[in-house]
Amino acid sequence: MEFSIVIISCIRIDWSVSDSICVRTSAENIMKEELGLILEGKTVLITGGGGTVGTEIALQAIKWKPDRIVCLGRSKKKLVDVVVNAQKVSSNVHVEIDLCDITDRGRIDELFSKYRPDIVFHMAAEKDIRLTNDDPIRAVTVNVQGTCNVVGAASEFGVARLAFASSIKADHPSSVMGATKRLGEMIVGDAANHLSRIYYTVRLSNVLESSGGVHTLFCKQIESGGPVTVTHPDAVRVFVTAKETAELLLETLKVATPGSVLSLMSGNKTNVLDLAKNLISSYGLVVEDDIDIDYVGLRDGERLVEETIFDGQEWALTSNKKILVHRTDKQSDQYIGLDNSINELISVAKEKDLTSLLRKISVIVPDCAELGQ
C-alpha cells in the first residue's frame, strides 16, 4: 500500500480537522488488514521472547495467524509462561521456545537454521541505565555483539523483516545504554543498506510493567516498607504500557522500509515523584507517615526530563498517527568503516580495557556525549 507522508519539524500536530481524522482512521484500518497479509502463515521469531514486551508481541501476533511463533530467551520459566498464556489465546498457532543467549553466535545460527524465521523482533538487551553504566563491557557484549550476532544470522538465513527494539535514550545518547543502543541501530541500518531488506529500528519509551522499570522497583520498595528512591523531584519520564508498545511494534511491519528509524508517539510524560506518591497512596499508605521518599540523585548519563524526540529534528508522519519515521540519509557517512569499528570495539570489550572502551564508543557514535566523565 502506498501512503503519503508530511515532513514536520518537531512536532506539533493538529488532528482537529474531522476530514483528516476520517482519512487517517481509514488508513489505519487498511494497515491492520494488510498486517494480516504480512504475518499470516509466517514464522515469527522474538529474541527476549520471555520479556515483558516480547511476551506481549507473541500473544498479540497470534490473532494474525502466523504459522508459528518462536520465543528465545534465557529464562525457561518465563518462556514456559508464554506458551501457557498463548494457549489461552488460541490453540491454533504453534508457539515454540528455546533457551538462547544472543552473545553466543553459534547458538543463534543453530536456532535460525532450525526455525528459518521470516520475521524477527530483536528485543533482547541490557537496558538498565545503572547496570550498563556500572558494567559497560557487559552492555557492549549484549547490545552490540549480540545485535551483530542476530543481524548476521538474519542476513545469512534470509530473514525478510527484522525490527530492532532501540530506545529513545539512543537519540543524542548520554549513557552507555543509550550509546550501545545507537550502535545497534547503526548495525541494523548498515545491514539494511547492503541487503535492501526491511531491517529497521523502533525507538521505545519506558515500558511501565518492565521487570527492571521504576514502577516495578517502587512497588517492591513499598511492599518491603520503604523507602522509595526517587532520583530527582523534577525528573520526568515517558511511560507506555507493554500492550500498546507491542501493538505498535507489530504495526511497524507495515510502514517500515529498509534502514528506517521509527519512533512511537505513545505513552505519557509523567513526573516520577508523582508516580511514587500515587503508588504509595494506591497501597492505602501515606507519604512520610508510612513510607519515606529518598532522593538519590540522577545517575551518570541520565536526563532530568526525557523526550520522545528532540526539537529541530525532521520526522515524517506515516499512515499511523502514532508512528513517525526519522528523515535520515540511508547512505550516511556513519556506515563507512562501521564493520571495522564495531569489531575493534568488541575486541576492546574482550580485553576489558574500560577506559579505551568508553573512548571508542564516544568516537563511533554520532552526537554522543563523552562517557565515563
CB-CB neighbours of 183 under 10 Å:
28
All three cell numbers of 193? 543498506
Q: What is the DSSP letter of 320?
A: S
pTM of structure? 0.85
Residue 8's DSSP bridge partners are 315
**Residue 205 or residue 1, greater confidence:** 205
Confidence tier at 32 by pLDDT (50, 70, 90): low
**Residue 308 or residue 129, greater confidence:** 129
CATH class for the domain made up of 7-364:
alpha beta
Where is mean pLDDT largest: 6-15, 89-98, 261-270?
A: 89-98
Answer for the pair 176, 128: CB distance below 8 angstroms, yes or no.
Answer: no
What was the pLDDT predicted at 182? 95
- pLDDT tens readout for residues 46-101: 999 999 999 999 999 999 999 999 999 999 999 999 999 999 998 888 999 999 99
Q: Using the predicted structure, report yes or no on whether residue 2 has a pLDDT greater than 80.
A: no
What was the pLDDT predicted at 27? 47
Q: What are phi and psi of 147, to 5 degrees?
A: -65, -40
Confidence tier at 267 by pLDDT (50, 70, 90): low
Confidence tier at 126 by pLDDT (50, 70, 90): very high
Percent of the chain with pLDDT over 70: 87
Q: Using the predicted structure, report yes or no on whether residue 232 has a pLDDT greater than 90.
A: yes
- pLDDT tens readout for residues 52-65: 999 999 999 999 99
- Find all residues with CB under 8 Å of 372, minimum gap 6, and list them: 136, 300, 354, 355, 358
Residues 135-161 have a mean pLDDT of 97
Where is mean pLDDT largest: 159-168, 206-215, 330-339?
A: 159-168
What was the pLDDT predicted at 345? 95
Q: Using the predicted structure, report yes or no on whether residue 322 has a pLDDT greater than 90.
A: no
